Amino acid sequence: MALRTILEYPDPRLRTRAQPVTRFDAALGTLIDDMFETMYGAPGIGLAATQVDVHQRLIVIDISPERNQPLTIINPQILTREGEASTEEGCLSVPGIFDEVKRAAKIRLRAQDRDGNLFERDFEDILAVCIQHEMDHLEGKLFVDYLSDLKRERIRKKLEKERKERATGATATGAGPPAGARRAY
């Protein structure tokens, strides 16, 4: 297994629309294992292939505190949406930024697992939110797209400044909340 580099906003590669997964082979298995390792290491509770510059419709998620409930979602399709929930979201590709986004509270999902088997399942709460957030990544969309232009511009400038400081060896300030307080995906 290997850690993959997570692309960060405003990297234009995050705007790529992912293609369906058609080959359920060993290479896909390796990619999935790498994505879990990268997500756990970040640490995060979800990761879309787009975020590691692989433009296939593949998502990994684990919201469990023990990090032992891995969920692999391939070629996802939302069949039904119910209700509305506003959640403070964070994203591994927009580090240190958290803001409220409104999404469906419950979804019914059809997808394939890592062996290509089709499944249908209902999700709610943070899992439903996380899946919708990751599915946006597959469309080249980020949670900051739901915020005002002004906010998004502020976020872009802040992240670019932090990246520049990191590159010049200066200590990054405001490195974000302590691990576990808020979750990114």
* Contacting residues toward Ni ion, per CB under 5 A: 91
Q: Are 40 and 67 in contact (CB under 8 A)?
A: yes
171, 33 contact by CB (below 8 A) = no
Closer Cβ to Ni ion, 14 or 104, answer by number: 14
Task: Tell me which residue has its CB nearest to Ni ion.
Answer: 91
Transcribe 15-44 into DSSP letters: GPPPBPP---SHHHHHHHHHHHHHHHHTT-
According to the 3-state scheme, what is the secondary structure of 86-121? EEEEEECCEEEEEEEEEECCEEEEEEECCCCCEEEE
Instruction: Report the nearest approach of Ni ion to the CB of residue 93 (Å).
Output: 5
Catalytic residue check, 165: no
CB nearer to Ni ion: give 120 or 125.
Answer: 125
Question: What is the identity of the amino acid at 168?
Answer: T
Q: Given the residues 8, 134, 153, 165, select the one marked as catalytic.
A: 134
CB of 161 to Ni ion, least distance (A): 21
Q: Which is nearer to Ni ion, 74 or 94 (CB)?
A: 94
Shortest CB 164 distance to Ni ion, Å: 22
* Residue positions annotated with a catalytic role: 134
